[in-house]
Amino acid sequence: MKVDPFVESSHVQFITVGNEASLTFWRLDTKEQQLSYFDISVPENLKGVNFLSIEFTRYLNEPVNTYLVLVGADDGSIVAYNQQNNSFVDLGTRGKVIDGQIGTLSFKNDTVVIGSSQGIIAHYPITNTSVQPEDPSLVEYQNVESAIVAVSMDELNNEGLIGTESGCIHYVNFAEKIVIKLVSGNNNNQDTINFCKFDPVNSNIVVSSCGQKSDEFKINTVQNCDQVMNF
Protein backbone atom coordinates (compact mmCIF):
# COMPACT_ATOMS: atom_id res chain seq x y z
CA MET A 1 0.00 0.00 0.00
CA LYS A 2 1.22 3.51 -0.85
CA VAL A 3 -0.38 6.92 -0.34
CA ASP A 4 -0.44 9.14 -3.43
CA PRO A 5 1.44 12.36 -2.55
CA PHE A 6 0.00 14.42 -5.42
CA VAL A 7 -3.78 14.45 -4.83
CA GLU A 8 -5.63 17.50 -3.54
CA SER A 9 -5.88 18.13 0.19
CA SER A 10 -9.58 17.26 0.50
CA HIS A 11 -8.91 13.70 -0.60
CA VAL A 12 -6.56 10.92 0.37
CA GLN A 13 -5.73 8.46 -2.36
CA PHE A 14 -3.77 5.28 -1.86
CA ILE A 15 -2.93 2.29 -4.02
CA THR A 16 -2.77 -1.40 -3.23
CA VAL A 17 -1.23 -4.16 -5.33
CA GLY A 18 -1.38 -7.94 -5.25
CA ASN A 19 -1.40 -11.22 -7.12
CA GLU A 20 -2.50 -11.62 -10.74
CA ALA A 21 -1.45 -8.03 -11.53
CA SER A 22 -3.96 -6.63 -9.05
CA LEU A 23 -3.85 -2.81 -8.96
CA THR A 24 -6.51 -0.93 -6.99
CA PHE A 25 -6.97 2.79 -6.38
CA TRP A 26 -8.69 3.83 -3.13
CA ARG A 27 -9.98 7.37 -2.62
CA LEU A 28 -11.07 8.79 0.72
CA ASP A 29 -13.13 11.98 0.68
CA THR A 30 -12.16 13.58 3.99
CA LYS A 31 -15.07 16.04 3.88
CA GLU A 32 -17.83 13.56 3.09
CA GLN A 33 -16.04 10.73 4.92
CA GLN A 34 -16.65 8.35 2.04
CA LEU A 35 -14.29 5.70 0.70
CA SER A 36 -14.45 4.56 -2.91
CA TYR A 37 -12.23 2.33 -5.01
CA PHE A 38 -11.75 1.04 -8.52
CA ASP A 39 -9.73 -1.86 -9.92
CA ILE A 40 -7.47 -1.27 -12.90
CA SER A 41 -7.90 -3.52 -15.93
CA VAL A 42 -4.54 -4.97 -16.91
CA PRO A 43 -3.46 -6.10 -20.39
CA GLU A 44 -3.21 -9.80 -21.17
CA ASN A 45 0.59 -9.80 -21.14
CA LEU A 46 0.59 -8.78 -17.46
CA LYS A 47 -1.87 -11.39 -16.23
CA GLY A 48 -0.10 -14.03 -14.20
CA VAL A 49 2.41 -11.48 -12.89
CA ASN A 50 2.20 -10.62 -9.19
CA PHE A 51 2.64 -6.97 -8.18
CA LEU A 52 4.63 -6.46 -4.96
CA SER A 53 5.67 -2.81 -4.52
CA ILE A 54 4.59 0.74 -5.42
CA GLU A 55 6.33 4.07 -5.93
CA PHE A 56 5.51 7.45 -7.51
CA THR A 57 7.75 9.38 -9.88
CA ARG A 58 8.08 13.15 -9.89
CA TYR A 59 6.32 15.07 -12.67
CA LEU A 60 7.89 13.91 -15.95
CA ASN A 61 8.29 16.17 -18.99
CA GLU A 62 7.23 15.45 -22.58
CA PRO A 63 6.10 13.06 -23.86
CA VAL A 64 4.78 11.91 -20.49
CA ASN A 65 3.56 15.24 -19.05
CA THR A 66 2.43 13.76 -15.74
CA TYR A 67 3.73 11.67 -12.86
CA LEU A 68 3.57 7.89 -13.07
CA VAL A 69 2.88 5.04 -10.69
CA LEU A 70 5.69 2.49 -10.69
CA VAL A 71 4.91 -1.08 -9.67
CA GLY A 72 7.53 -3.73 -8.90
CA ALA A 73 6.72 -7.30 -9.92
CA ASP A 74 7.73 -10.83 -8.98
CA ASP A 75 9.39 -11.41 -12.38
CA GLY A 76 12.02 -8.72 -11.68
CA SER A 77 10.39 -6.06 -13.84
CA ILE A 78 8.87 -2.62 -13.22
CA VAL A 79 5.51 -1.63 -14.69
CA ALA A 80 4.42 2.01 -15.12
CA TYR A 81 0.83 3.26 -14.95
CA ASN A 82 -0.43 6.66 -16.15
CA GLN A 83 -3.42 7.87 -14.12
CA GLN A 84 -4.06 10.77 -16.50
CA ASN A 85 -5.15 8.53 -19.37
CA ASN A 86 -5.74 5.36 -17.34
CA SER A 87 -3.26 3.22 -19.20
CA PHE A 88 -0.09 1.24 -18.67
CA VAL A 89 2.99 2.81 -20.22
CA ASP A 90 5.90 1.07 -21.88
CA LEU A 91 8.96 2.73 -20.39
CA GLY A 92 11.36 -0.01 -21.34
CA THR A 93 11.00 -1.82 -18.04
CA ARG A 94 9.22 -5.00 -19.14
CA GLY A 95 11.47 -7.96 -18.63
CA LYS A 96 14.09 -8.19 -15.93
CA VAL A 97 15.41 -5.03 -14.33
CA ILE A 98 17.04 -6.94 -11.48
CA ASP A 99 17.40 -10.59 -10.43
CA GLY A 100 14.69 -11.73 -8.05
CA GLN A 101 11.32 -10.27 -7.06
CA ILE A 102 11.08 -6.48 -6.65
CA GLY A 103 9.65 -5.98 -3.18
CA THR A 104 10.85 -2.41 -2.60
CA LEU A 105 11.14 0.73 -4.75
CA SER A 106 12.39 4.24 -3.98
CA PHE A 107 12.20 7.13 -6.47
CA LYS A 108 13.91 10.35 -5.34
CA ASN A 109 16.28 12.95 -6.76
CA ASP A 110 15.91 11.52 -10.30
CA THR A 111 17.27 8.17 -9.17
CA VAL A 112 15.74 4.75 -8.58
CA VAL A 113 16.63 2.33 -5.78
CA ILE A 114 15.38 -1.25 -6.15
CA GLY A 115 15.51 -4.02 -3.55
CA SER A 116 15.08 -7.65 -4.59
CA SER A 117 14.28 -11.01 -3.02
CA GLN A 118 17.85 -12.16 -3.78
CA GLY A 119 19.38 -9.58 -1.45
CA ILE A 120 20.41 -7.22 -4.27
CA ILE A 121 19.90 -3.48 -4.05
CA ALA A 122 20.41 -1.41 -7.23
CA HIS A 123 20.81 2.37 -7.60
CA TYR A 124 20.88 4.33 -10.87
CA PRO A 125 19.87 7.68 -12.46
CA ILE A 126 16.81 7.92 -14.70
CA THR A 127 15.68 10.11 -17.59
CA ASN A 128 12.37 11.86 -18.28
CA THR A 129 11.02 8.98 -20.34
CA SER A 130 12.42 5.80 -18.82
CA VAL A 131 13.14 4.20 -15.47
CA GLN A 132 15.33 1.62 -17.19
CA PRO A 133 19.04 2.56 -16.95
CA GLU A 134 20.28 3.85 -20.33
CA ASP A 135 23.85 2.86 -19.52
CA PRO A 136 24.34 -0.38 -17.56
CA SER A 137 27.66 0.93 -16.26
CA LEU A 138 25.79 3.60 -14.27
CA VAL A 139 23.97 0.98 -12.17
CA GLU A 140 25.48 0.51 -8.70
CA TYR A 141 24.83 -2.75 -6.87
CA GLN A 142 25.16 -3.75 -3.23
CA ASN A 143 24.37 -7.13 -1.69
CA VAL A 144 23.06 -8.28 1.67
CA GLU A 145 22.57 -11.73 3.17
CA SER A 146 18.88 -12.36 2.36
CA ALA A 147 15.75 -11.00 0.69
CA ILE A 148 15.20 -7.25 1.07
CA VAL A 149 11.78 -6.55 2.58
CA ALA A 150 12.08 -2.85 3.54
CA VAL A 151 14.07 0.17 2.36
CA SER A 152 14.10 3.71 3.75
CA MET A 153 16.26 6.19 1.81
CA ASP A 154 17.20 9.83 2.42
CA GLU A 155 15.92 12.66 0.19
CA LEU A 156 18.88 12.30 -2.17
CA ASN A 157 18.32 8.53 -2.50
CA ASN A 158 22.01 8.03 -1.74
CA GLU A 159 21.97 6.59 1.76
CA GLY A 160 19.47 4.75 3.87
CA LEU A 161 18.48 1.60 5.70
CA ILE A 162 17.69 -1.90 4.47
CA GLY A 163 15.61 -4.47 6.34
CA THR A 164 15.99 -8.13 5.41
CA GLU A 165 14.04 -11.35 5.67
CA SER A 166 16.56 -12.73 8.17
CA GLY A 167 15.90 -9.83 10.56
CA CYS A 168 18.98 -7.70 9.87
CA ILE A 169 19.17 -3.95 9.39
CA HIS A 170 21.90 -2.58 7.12
CA TYR A 171 23.11 0.96 6.45
CA VAL A 172 23.79 1.58 2.75
CA ASN A 173 25.65 4.52 1.22
CA PHE A 174 25.93 4.52 -2.57
CA ALA A 175 28.18 7.59 -2.67
CA GLU A 176 30.70 5.77 -0.45
CA LYS A 177 29.87 2.35 -1.99
CA ILE A 178 29.44 0.68 1.41
CA VAL A 179 26.97 -1.51 3.27
CA ILE A 180 27.28 -1.85 7.06
CA LYS A 181 25.24 -4.25 9.18
CA LEU A 182 23.75 -2.32 12.10
CA VAL A 183 21.53 -4.97 13.66
CA SER A 184 22.10 -8.72 13.37
CA GLY A 185 19.31 -11.08 12.45
CA ASN A 186 16.94 -12.48 15.05
CA ASN A 187 14.93 -14.72 12.71
CA ASN A 188 12.18 -12.10 12.36
CA ASN A 189 11.56 -10.09 9.21
CA GLN A 190 12.37 -6.38 9.45
CA ASP A 191 9.33 -5.67 7.30
CA THR A 192 9.02 -1.95 8.03
CA ILE A 193 11.79 0.57 8.61
CA ASN A 194 11.70 4.29 9.28
CA PHE A 195 14.87 6.37 9.42
CA CYS A 196 14.25 9.24 11.86
CA LYS A 197 16.44 12.18 12.79
CA PHE A 198 14.95 14.29 15.54
CA ASP A 199 17.49 17.14 15.69
CA PRO A 200 21.19 17.76 14.95
CA VAL A 201 22.17 17.00 18.55
CA ASN A 202 20.46 13.63 18.87
CA SER A 203 21.57 10.48 17.08
CA ASN A 204 19.72 9.07 14.14
CA ILE A 205 17.03 6.67 15.26
CA VAL A 206 16.01 3.49 13.46
CA VAL A 207 12.42 2.42 14.03
CA SER A 208 11.63 -1.09 12.80
CA SER A 209 8.92 -3.70 13.16
CA CYS A 210 8.99 -7.48 12.81
CA GLY A 211 5.52 -8.23 11.60
CA GLN A 212 5.57 -11.70 10.08
CA LYS A 213 6.91 -13.85 12.89
CA SER A 214 6.43 -11.70 15.95
CA ASP A 215 4.83 -8.50 17.18
CA GLU A 216 8.12 -6.82 18.10
CA PHE A 217 8.67 -3.12 17.63
CA LYS A 218 12.26 -1.90 17.97
CA ILE A 219 14.09 1.39 18.26
CA ASN A 220 17.86 1.46 17.67
CA THR A 221 20.40 4.27 17.43
CA VAL A 222 22.61 4.42 14.33
CA GLN A 223 25.53 5.99 16.17
CA ASN A 224 26.33 3.02 18.39
CA CYS A 225 23.80 0.42 17.17
CA ASP A 226 22.34 0.12 20.67
CA GLN A 227 18.77 -1.03 21.02
CA VAL A 228 17.10 1.60 23.16
CA MET A 229 13.59 0.20 23.20
CA ASN A 230 11.87 -3.07 22.33
CA PHE A 231 8.19 -3.73 22.86
SS3 (DSSP) at 106: strand
Instruction: Identify whether 220 is part of a domain.
Output: no
pLDDT digits (tens, 9 = 90+) for 89-119: 766 655 677 889 999 999 988 899 999 999 9
Is there a domain that residue 95 lies in? yes
Q: Name the residue range of residue 55's domain.
A: 2-143
Confirm whether 15 is domain-assigned: yes
| pTM of the predicted protein model | 0.77
162 part of a folded domain: no
**Average confidence (pLDDT) over 57-69:** 77
Task: Please tell me the distance from the alpha carbon of residue 229 to that of residue 215, in angstroms, as a whole number.
Answer: 14
Quote the percentage of the chain above a pLDDT of 70: 71
DSSP letter (8 states) at residue 60: B
Please provide the average confidence, as pLDDT, over all residues in the chain.
78
Residue 15 sits in a domain whose CATH number is 2.130.10.10
Whether residue 130 contacts residue 138, with contact meaning beta carbons closer than 8 Å, is answered with: no
What's the structural domain count of the chain?
A: 1
Domain-embedded: residue 196: no
Any domain includes 127: yes
Q: For residue range 187-218, list pLDDT tens digits in order.
A: 555 555 554 443 344 445 555 555 455 455 55
Q: Is residue 130 part of a domain?
A: yes
pLDDT at 226: 45
Is 173 or 65 the better-scoring residue by pLDDT?
173
Reduced to 3 states (helix: H, G, I; strand: E, B; else coil), residue 122 is strand
